[in-house]
Amino acid sequence: MTKQKDITVLAIETSCDETSVAIVKNGREVLSNIIASQIDVHKKFGGVVPEVASRKHIENINIIIQDALDEANMTFDNIDVVGITYGPGLVGALLVGISSAKAIAFGRNLPLVGVNHIEGHIYANFIEDKSLEPPFITLIVSGGHTHLVYVEDYGKYDILGKTRDDAAGEAFDKVARSLNLGYPGGPLIDKLAKKGDKEAIDFPRAYLEEGSFDFSFSGLKSAVLNYLNNSKQKGQEIIVEDVAASFQQSVIEVLVNKTIKAAKSKGAKTIAIAGGVAANEGLRSLMKEKCNQEGFDFKYPAKILCTDNAAMIASVAYYNYLRGERANLELNGVPNLKLG
Ligand code: KG4
Ligand code: ZN
């Protein structure tokens, strides 16, 4: 049998506050994955400022593209396909990446493939585990999204549930802010939680209606704020580590229990997690423990592939390309692009 020709994708990701460019061979082999984080710039504002994000992407994008080529030891001559995140995300930020991707595709006469950012998070698992194949259940938990999805096949998703209010990462960031921890809050809470007692404070678990795979985190966020205000009013000491550990436990218990239930309902054998919050140590260890108990195979990407990066976007672009999907130069940013 003749070997299929290798396909090398250059992908660009600028949907939020990371300028990232990656070069990936055949959807799973990362040759370079350069990530320029803007966290230090946005930190002083306590969150991402869209206008600042766009400007930083403009400053960085050409340098990061060249870095990605250099690290892969390639030039544009070696690239077969250009992949680009076109949503969801901040429209001004998306447009910087889209314009660059179009310019490369037009200038080099290469196919352009649009990618959904949420789908990208799922595909981080294909890069991590080269043998992973659909079907499986995936929990996507990031700063902007919380989705429980049955991945039937590449490009074929059954959305079982999503958040009705805040995303999981958003809840981490807001609670961290109320504890004056800084931005982004997820990693800081994760670190403090390790030193705290997860049973110290009985925060609510929002399971919603029987059988629902949706999530809600705004009630929990209010409960934490109320706890902090009441404690201050009564002059009681606030043990930040205990608040972090108890809050985190409330979030991850619901995430894990609903994911296991969803896997059972679909008869899936494998569970994968994705998105920035999938980097959370508490979530990784509780999910691992429950998957072991219940007999599911558990997959999780390296932390660098959990948070925003272009390698995961290149992976989606590769599979979309194989299915014949092409974008043209009219491609626009879609801030509220949906999955599925
Ligand atoms: O996937 P991502 O980089 O960007 C979005 O697409 O939203 O996710 C960023 C989110 C932030 O809310 C951040 O606080 C959270 O992921 N995050 C974490 C951890 N690392 C990042 N949350 C909990 N524990 C972590 N270790
Ligand atoms: Zn993301």
Give 166-221 pLDDT, tens digit per residue: 999 999 999 999 999 988 899 999 999 999 999 999 999 999 999 999 999 999 99
209 and 137 inside one domain: yes
Tell me, in angstroms, the distance from the centre of ligand 1 to residue 5's CA: 36
Residues 152, 155: Cα–Cα separation, whole Å? 8
290 and 318 inside one domain: no
What would the two tokens of residue 211 be?
A: 């059988």
Nearest to 172 by CA among 116, 274, 245: 245
Tell me, in angstroms, the distance from the centre of ligand 2 to residue 173's CA: 14
| Nearest ligand 1 atom, CA 117 | 6
Tell me, in angstroms, the distance from the centre of ligand 1 to residue 169's CA: 5
Residue 189 resides in a domain: yes
Tell me, in angstroms, the distance from the centre of ligand 1 to residue 4's CA: 37
70 and 209 inside one domain: no
Residues 299, 287: Cα–Cα separation, whole Å? 10
290 and 310 inside one domain: no
166 and 310 inside one domain: no
What range defines the domain where residue 314 resides?
A: 8-123+306-322
Listed range (43-57, 151-165, 177-191) with the worst mean pLDDT: 43-57
Tell me, in angstroms, the distance from the centre of ligand 2 to residue 14's CA: 10
Q: Which residue has the higher pLDDT, 258 or 51?
A: 258
| Nearest ligand 1 atom, CA 282 | 24
Residue 335 resides in a domain: no
222 and 280 inside one domain: yes
Q: Kindly state the average pLDDT of the residues 82-97.
A: 97
Residue 88 resides in a domain: yes
Residues 323, 59: Cα–Cα separation, whole Å? 34
Q: Kindly state the average pLDDT of the residues 98-109.
A: 98
CATH of the domain at 316: 3.30.420.40
101 and 154 inside one domain: no
| Nearest ligand 1 atom, CA 281 | 26
Residues 212, 262: Cα–Cα separation, whole Å? 9
Residue 128 resides in a domain: no
Q: For atom 7 of ligand 1, which residue has the closest CA?
A: 143
Alpha helices per DSSP H over the chain:
39-43, 50-71, 91-108, 117-128, 168-178, 185-193, 218-233, 240-266, 281-294, 303-306, 310-322
Residue 31 resides in a domain: yes
Q: For atom 16 of ligand 1, which residue has the closest CA?
A: 276
Residue 339 resides in a domain: no
140 and 109 inside one domain: no
Which residues' Cβ are closer than 6 Å to ligand 1? 16, 142-144, 169, 172-173, 184-187, 190, 275-277, 279-280, 307-308
Tell me, in angstroms, the distance from the centre of ligand 1 to residue 2's CA: 43
195 and 113 inside one domain: no
| Nearest ligand 1 atom, CA 144 | 7
Q: For atom 14 of ligand 1, which residue has the closest CA?
A: 186
150 and 262 inside one domain: yes
Number of domains in the chain: 2
Q: For atom 8 of ligand 1, which residue has the closest CA?
A: 276
Task: Please give the order of strands across the beta sheet that includes 146-153.
Answer: 156-162, 146-153, 136-141, 270-274, 297-299
User: Pocket of ligand 1, candidates 172, 304, 312: which has the most ligand atoms within 8 Å of its Cβ, to mutate?
Assistant: 172
pLDDT, mean over the chain: 96
Q: Is 1's pLDDT higher than 60?
A: no
34 and 146 inside one domain: no
Helix (H, G, I), strand (E, B) or coil at 267: coil
**Nearest ligand to the C-alpha of residue 141?**
1
Tell me the pTM: 0.96
| Nearest ligand 1 atom, CA 184 | 14
Q: Kindly state the average pLDDT of the residues 256-261.
A: 98
Q: Kindly state the average pLDDT of the residues 81-100.
A: 98
Q: Is 263's pLDDT higher than 70?
A: yes
160 and 296 inside one domain: yes
Tell me, in angstroms, the distance from the centre of ligand 2 to residue 233's CA: 38
pLDDT band at 127; cut points 50, 70, 90:
very high
Tell me, in angstroms, the distance from the centre of ligand 1 to residue 293's CA: 27
CA atoms 33, 34, 40, 46: torsion sign: negative
